Amino acid sequence: MDDSIFYISILVCSLLAVIITFFITSIIRYHRRYIRLQRERITAEIRLLENERKRIATDLHDSIGPLLSSVKLNIASVEVGDPRDKQVIGKSMRYIDEIITSMRQISHDLLPNTLERKGLVEAIREFSTHLGHEDRLQVDVYATTPLHPHPEKDIHIFRIVQEILHNTLKHAQASRLEIGFNEDGKELLIFVRDNGKGFNVEKSRQDSRGLGLKSLEIRTDIMYGSISIQSTPGEGTRYYIRIPLQ
């Protein structure tokens, strides 16, 4: 009788173990599938966003830009004798110049053509120059090893650095920003450091500023990479990003 109870207990425990294992395995599989589907959805949305940015930038550069230049030439060819009319024409041409400059900046923000032509480092250097804040923030961009083009990843990396640059200008009150790259064939390492006022990382994740940090984390996760942000109020901020290349 005791042996029967013992074997029944063993059997019941084994069945419970199998059932629990099945449910745990199912939960893990569901969670992994959910993460994979989420990553695929976010990747598709970002790819769609980048394609739309490319389309708009191309339209600005190839259509509206030449049209504005033609308008400027037509205005410049108008001959007037009244000094007041000349003044109006002069103002109009200056306004058109400002519109063309702003349009080029928007086009460059939407699609950095330098990224395809000259690579990641040069594109970031050019973008930092186009920001026009050299008097406020000195940006040093360098690579300790040659960087090979990775088109699918480079646009994400560029957007990550772009977001960091904007955050630094807007919040950090820094006078210098250092952006370094190192590639060893297996992964790309990115190190960013500023000498600004720093901030509370966890607190920023919970408020509106955390949207920028979330964007960095989402793009890094899409590339199966990792990002670490270290900052202390009064001591600047450091970003460590690792992106696998295989």
Alpha-helix runs per DSSP H in the chain? 2-59, 65-76, 83-110, 113-117, 120-130, 151-167, 201-206, 210-222
Give the number of other Cβ atoms within 10 Å of residue 196's Cβ.
22
- What is the number of alpha carbons within 13 Å of residue 234 lying toward its C-beta? 0
Q: Any idea what DSSP says for residue 187? A: E
Q: What is the pTM of this model?
A: 0.69
Alpha-helix runs per DSSP H in 111-209? 113-117, 120-130, 151-167, 201-206
Instruction: Report the distance separating Cα 18 and Cα 47, nearest Å.
Output: 43
Instruction: Report the distance separating Cα 160 and Cα 244, nearest Å.
Output: 15
Provide the pLDDT for residue 100.
79
Q: Which amino acid is at 48?
A: L
pLDDT tens series, the chain, 246 aa: 556 766 677 777 777 777 777 777 777 776 667 556 666 666 677 777 767 777 776 767 667 777 777 777 777 777 777 788 778 888 888 888 888 777 777 776 777 777 878 889 998 998 888 776 777 889 999 999 999 888 888 888 999 998 899 889 888 888 999 999 999 888 999 999 999 888 888 877 776 555 578 888 888 988 889 999 998 888 899 999 999 987
Provide the pLDDT for residue 194.
93
Provide the residue ranges of all domains of the chain, joining segments of one domain with +. 2-109, 115-244
- What is the CATH number assigned to the segment(s) 115-244? 3.30.565.10
